[in-house]
Structure 1
Amino acid sequence: MAMYLDNDLEFMLEGYIDMLEFDDDEDDNDPFEVIDQQQERYDFDFEGGDDMGRQRSDTTASEARNGKDIQGIPWERLSFTRDQYREMRLKQYKNYENLFQSRVQLEKECKQVEKGSGFYDFQYNTRHVKSSIVHFQLRNLLWATTKHDVYMMQNYSVMHWSSLRQRSKEVLNVAGQIAPTKRSRGSSVQPVSRVQVSTMAVKDNLMVAGGFQGELICKYLNQPGVVFSTKVTNDENAITNAVEIYQTSNGSTHLMTANNDCLVRAFDTENFTLLSQFPFSWSVNSTSVSPNGKLLAVLGDSVDCLIADSKSGKVIGNLKGHLDYSFASAWHPDGHILATGNQDTTCRLWDVRNLSESFAVLKGRMGAIRGVKFSADGRFMAMAEPADFVHIHDARADYCKAQEIDLFGEIAGMSFSPDTEAFFVSTADRTYGSLLEFSRRHHYQYTDCFL
């Protein structure tokens, strides 16, 4: 994978994104800078936790229904409309590619999807918490543990946001030295410091964060301090691209790391000992273990995606069809369907009972598919582009119906709540970075109101 990082923890890639310039007599700067300058005239400073400032910056569902932009962008004060800005951004956005191949045939493969469905309704947007990104290809930095609780990266802090209290709280600060208070038997503990978190996962009270220099940090959310820290590799190109907390076939909880040094590592979560490591011939960008704990999907700097035995690492299947490198994968809860997200701007769906070809190809609007998630009930599959668009597909409708969430800004992560009642998207735009919350829409029968 490519490697880009600047000093203030936000990615910079020349030519990756063109923030558009409009012909305007007053100012020919980036239009978001114009918005920012105008807004500074009357907005309170909400960064410091000022309630009045936060409320003025935030957007509620009722305000959105009355015409306010869900991100709080004051289009009415600009010399261009939202539709005009969207049209130009679609034309000028430059998708990052590692491999340059013709995509004429790929377009023909893509499933025709009916957009316009409303599975999740906008609920709230807060700019009180802003996600940050340290690597432009890694966007798995948001996790919901309930429909009210979300964890995300904000510079050197893991932040918790409560939608009930509408308050944020720092859970872990990784700017200084990190070391566990107790050493687990058999684990290779190593203090780490000033960690630039590239990926994270939260499940069953355990939070795992991977770093830009191969760091791995584990913390129980209900305990102070961290329970484990180490550097899984001292390789010069050591980025931890993905971490996963999963159940093995015998019911144990393990965690897995995928690194740029071409190794996949599995740890137990009792003593955090290294159990196994599997070598591959290219940098591994994403791994995901099937719900029954037996199969392992391995994706990375290759057009092929692999299916391996999760215990031995032996490759048992090769998925062919993508045209570029892959950075996201997810299993349907039934264990039969695997989704893979790729820089060729598509998500492919595979049935592991027939790996000869993908049974569906879903396309985004602008760029690579950098995030893929299934809801816990298997009803929905969400796929996120690097910026501006998240698509929620209805698995029950053979993925032919979708809701398109249209916003502006780099997408740092997305997450369904475990009960599927909420869906969250975080953006990392310098001006309008925020956390957007959506609530699941239910269609009840008329007679239900009498029960």
Structure 2
Amino acid sequence: MLRNLLWATSKHDVYLMQNYSLMHWSSLLRRGKEVLNVAKPVVPTLKQTGSLSHSLSRVQISTMAAKDNLIAAGGFQGELICKFVNRPGVAFCTRVTSDENAITNAVDIYHSPSGSLRVMMANNDCRVRVFDVGNFACLNDFTFDWSVNNASASPDGKLLAILGDSSECLIADAQSGKVTSSLEGHLDYSFASAWHPNGVVLATGNQDTTCRLWDIRNMSESFGVIKGNMGAIRALRFTSDGRFLAMAEPADFVHVIDTESGYEHCQEIDMFGEIAGISFSPDSEALFVGVADRTYGSLLEFNRRRHLHYLDSIFF
């Protein structure tokens, strides 16, 4: 299962899925509260003419993202749920396909070159769909040759990284969906991608237990390979200042790489249990790791210690 079920919107605000509940955790108050229960019918509050929005029932969440006052979550049956952080209820929800194998593998929230907020979903039905958050209209629907496990937009919103059940990773134009480059080097299927804030470096995570680093100015080959310990690289996150890259395996290991060392220096976080997601806080000061193990399920917080240039852990 693809696990991106945790997102930090500030150093003190973390959103994570627990069973059928979307929870908000305040690391300041050390207290959590339920924001949304998707075991119950999910009814959209925005009623717009011609909108794709319709009620859903008992959604099993497969992935999520939270950014710019918006939470977007995908489901195992091709569902998409969008909720504004500062408003009650669900703004938009839909099931985009009736395909039986249509799990929403990834969602991304980003700004288009014009500044409009977008939600992008990558699905097992070989398609990437882009929605405008202003009216939740589907702007684009791109089809590829294989199941799409991950799609992410570059910081300027002009390019998309498309990864899935293929050893190649694609770079596509965000407006047209036209493939402009194919990144070759991985040996198996890919599951994760992350763009450096400078928009030049792209990191991709693969079943071959490696993360490859690409310079979009020269994509003929990767300029770096970071190896995991045991499993596929399932999640990748850069800090907002670009100083660190976090890399998560399916269970037990999260690696924090110092980008200023040429991606050579790494701190390994060794824990126990399946990893439900990783997220840096927007100010780059904290790293949150979700552990989905039935017995040892927890949320871990790691705070940055600038004077020693490594991350110090705080468990709660």
TM-score per shorter chain, which class? Answer: over 0.9
Pair 1:428-2:304 in alignment: no
Correspondence 1:83-94 to 2 at 5 A: none
Q: Deviation digits for residues 195-238 of structure 1, max 9, x if unmatched?
A: 00000010011001100001111101111110001001111111
Residue 354 of structure 1: aligned partner: 218
Q: Structure 1: 5+ residue runs without aligned partners?
A: 1-135, 445-451
How far apart, CA to CA, are the structure 2 residues paired with 1:325 and 1:304?
8
Point out which structure has higher relative CO (alpha carbons under 8 A, 6+ apart): 1
For residues 355-434 of structure 1, the aligned pairs below 5 Å read 355-434=219-298
Instruction: Calculate the aligned-residue CA RMSD, in Å.
Output: 0.9
- Contiguous gaps of at least 5 residues in structure 2: 309-316
Q: Deviations over 1:232-280 (max 9, x none)?
A: 1111111001111001111111110100111100100011001111000
Structure index of larger Rg: 1
- Distance in 1, matches of 2:235 and 2:65, equals 13
Deviations 1:400-447 (A, max 9, x none): 001110111100001000001111101011111100001100118xxx
Query: Identity rate of aligned residues, in percent?
Result: 69
Aligned residues: 308
Does residue 292 of the first structure (1) align with residue 156 of the second (2)? yes
Q: Alpha-carbon deviations, 1:371-398, whole Å to 9, x = none?
A: 0000000000010000111001011110
Instruction: Give the SS at the match of 2:172.
Output: strand
Please say if residues 187 and 274 of structure 1, whose CA atoms lie closer than 8 Å, have aligned partners that are also in contact.
no
Q: Tell me which of 166, 171, 190 is aligned to 2:54.
A: 190
- The equivalences for 1:194-233 within 5 A come to 194-233=58-97
1:112 counterpart residue number: none
Per-residue deviation, 1:189: 1.2
CA distance in 1, matches of 2:52, 2:290: 34
Residue pair 1:184, 1:272 contacting (<8 A) in 2 also: no
Please state how far the C-alpha of 1:298 moved relative to its aligned partner: 0.1
Q: Is the 8 A contact 1:327 1:341 kept in 2?
A: yes
Q: Deviations over 1:168-209 (max 9, x none)?
A: 100000001111123134421121110000000100110011
Match of 1:168 in 2: 32
Q: Structure 2: how far apart are the matches of 1:183 and 1:327? A: 35
Scaled by the length of structure 2, the TM-score of the pair is: 0.96
Partner SS state of residue 396, structure 1: helix
2:139 corresponds to: 275
Work out the CA distance in 2 between the residues paired with 1:231 and 1:396.
42
* Structure 2 counterpart of 1:423, one-letter code: L
Which is richer in strand? 2
Partner of 1:318: 182
**Greater helix fraction, Structure 1 or Structure 2:** 1
- Residues 144 and 417 of structure 1 are in contact (CA less than 8 Å); yes or no, is this contact kept in structure 2? yes
TM-score (norm 1): 0.68
| 1:235 and 2:72 correspond | no
In 2: Cα distance, 1:183 partner to 1:240 partner: 24
Query: How many Å separate the matches in 2 of 1:421 and 1:186?
Result: 43
How far apart are the structure 1 equivalents of 2:115 and 2:43? 29
